[in-house]
């Protein structure tokens, strides 16, 4: 590894003693386990569901309206517009900004395919820029090189729970009269210079998929904005372009957040600060215990606060380490093993070279990370990783 690959956070390692029990006898650990949060808040969630079932409205009713207002306020924004999923959040945001056929939108290839699919759903053309190797967000210099006379927007993805370096992107957007759209699907509550992500750009787009830091028990999404006119346009677009029932002022879509999901999300939103604190505590334990190993570990860049949707480390021995953990019932994830621009659906249509993206995807590994992990679970993951490196050292 080069000097630029050093860990973002280095602290003194915790003295973790190897456990002697047979790992195969333990329950499997996965990188995410959304059912655990239902069990944690079961009484409240069941009551919320019952409230909806006994109500009179199941689509775009009082639960959705309340959740939209509560979530927007929690983010430090003025308006929330619930939609069917996070992909639609980006798609409809682009449509609301009149971005479509003939327009280009710059984004990252190191993201879920949903980000890029949403751009094409709007009729626009995705243009890929490279990332920086620390935050995994868009590299402003690469973005600047990608701007053309057809560029209308930048979609910045706050990946893994850490904010993109928004300052230079805001400068580029202002200088070139572009819209800055924040894809916050993995970053509910992350802070950039004291601002929660999603409240900085013209719109913030969130997924509420079950594995997210704030997730329902099914699909869901929400857009936040400070612009009341844009909010009104988004509300029309999510329901056929209606300004009143059965009266369409513009072409629209069917993308509505339902009452059941909104009610569940309202429960989870009340606990989000606490579950985020637990994610940060788990991340701190990982970082302290692994800091002396030949790994690149995540952490907070200056002025930022990570919310650890995922705890993603980098190791040149990624595949061997992953197999070692799997043999002990610890199932790490890959986010993402294959950049969008090299996947069959895109590689021939959008050929480009993204050196940093193409390098880091061979090393990344997502450790188990969800608030319901016990300290013993976390120690088990740590023991597995340290055991791998003890074995590697003994084999030298």
pLDDT at site 25: 63
pLDDT at site 22: 40
Length of the chain: 396
Q: What is the dihedral of CA 230, 235, 241, 242, to 10 degrees?
A: -120
Question: What one-character DSSP code corresponds to residue 19?
Answer: P
The candidate with the shortest Cα–Cα distance to 356, out of 148, 114, 138, 180, is 138
Which helix (H) or strand (E) segment is 166 a member of?
Answer: helix 166-175
Is-contact 297 313, C-beta < 8 A? Answer: yes
Supply the CATH classification number for the domain 38-269. 3.40.640.10
Q: Which two tokens stand for residue 358?
A: 């193409």
Q: Residue 28 — φ and ψ, nearest 5°?
A: -60, 145
pLDDT at site 26: 86
Burial class (CB in 10 A: 0-12, 13-18, 19+), 370: buried
pLDDT at site 112: 97
Grouping H, G, I as helix, E, B as strand and the rest as coil, residue 179 is strand
Q: Which CATH number fits domain 3-33+271-395: 3.40.190.10, 3.30.930.10, 3.40.109.10, 3.90.1150.10?
A: 3.90.1150.10
The 10s digit of each residue's pLDDT in 186-229 is 999 999 999 999 999 999 999 999 999 999 999 999 999 999 99
Q: What is the dihedral of CA 223, 225, 230, 236, to 10 degrees?
A: 30
Is-contact 218 261, C-beta < 8 A? Answer: yes
CA 315 to chain centre: 22
CA distances from 236 to 68, 69, 78, 244, 293 (A): 15, 17, 17, 9, 53
pLDDT at site 3: 33
- The residue ranges of every structural domain in the chain are 3-33+271-395, 38-269
Which helix (H) or strand (E) segment is 248 a member of?
Answer: strand 247-248
CA angle, 327 then 322 then 369, to 5°:
100
Question: What one-character DSSP code corresponds to residue 18?
Answer: P
| Domains 3-33+271-395 and 38-269 are alike in CATH topology | no
The 10s digit of each residue's pLDDT in 226-255 is 999 999 999 999 999 999 999 999 999 999
Within the chain, which residues score under 70 in pLDDT?
1-25
> Number of C-alpha atoms within 13 angstroms, CB side, residue 395?
6
């Amino acid at each position: 590894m080069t000097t630029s690959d050093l860990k973002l956070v280095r602290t003194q390692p915790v003295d973790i003693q190897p456990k002697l029990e047979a790992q195969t006898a333990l329950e499997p650990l996965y990188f995410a386990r959304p059912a655990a949060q239902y069990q944690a808040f079961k009484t409240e969630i069941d009551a919320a569901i019952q409230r909806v079932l006994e109500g009179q409205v199941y689509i775009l009713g009082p639960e959705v309206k309340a959740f939209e207002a509560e979530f927007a306020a929690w983010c430090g924004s003025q308006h929330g517009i619930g939609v069917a999923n996070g992909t639609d959040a980006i798609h409809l945001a682009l449509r609301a900004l009149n971005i479509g056929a003939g327009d280009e939108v710059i984004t990252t290839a190191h993201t879920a395919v949903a980000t890029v699919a949403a751009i094409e759903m709007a009729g626009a053309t995705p243009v890929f820029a490279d990332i920086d190797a620390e935050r995994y967000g868009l590299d402003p210099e690469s973005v600047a090189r990608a701007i053309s006379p057809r560029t209308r927007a930048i979609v910045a993805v706050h990946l893994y729970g850490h904010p993109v370096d928004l300052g230079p992107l805001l400068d580029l957007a202002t200088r070139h009269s572009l819209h800055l759209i924040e894809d916050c699907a993995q970053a509910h509550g992350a802070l950039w210079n004291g601002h929660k992500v999603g409240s900085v750009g013209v719109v913030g787009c969130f997924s509420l998929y079950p594995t997210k830091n704030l997730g329902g028990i099914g699909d869901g999404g929400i857009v936040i904005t400070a612009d009341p006119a844009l909010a009104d346009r988004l509300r029309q677009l999510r329901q056929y372009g209606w300004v009143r029932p059965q009266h369409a002022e513009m072409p629209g879509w069917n993308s509505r957040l339902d009452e059941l999901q909104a009610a569940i999300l309202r429960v989870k939103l009340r606990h989000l600060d606490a579950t985020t604190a637990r994610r940060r505590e788990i991340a701190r334990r990982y970082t302290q215990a692994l800091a002396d190993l030949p790994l690149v570990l995540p952490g907070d860049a200056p002025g930022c606060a990570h919310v650890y949707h995922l705890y993603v480390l980098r190791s040149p021995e990624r595949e061997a380490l992953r197999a070692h953990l799997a043999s002990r019932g610890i199932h790490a994830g890959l986010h993402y093993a294959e950049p969008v621009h090299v996947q069959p659906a895109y590689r021939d249509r959008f050929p480009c070279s993204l050196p940093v993206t193409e390098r880091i995807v061979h090393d990344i590994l997502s450790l188990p990370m969800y608030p319901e992990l016990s300290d013993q679970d976390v120690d088990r993951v740590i023991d597995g990783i340290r055991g791998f490196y003890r074995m590697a050292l003994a084999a030298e």
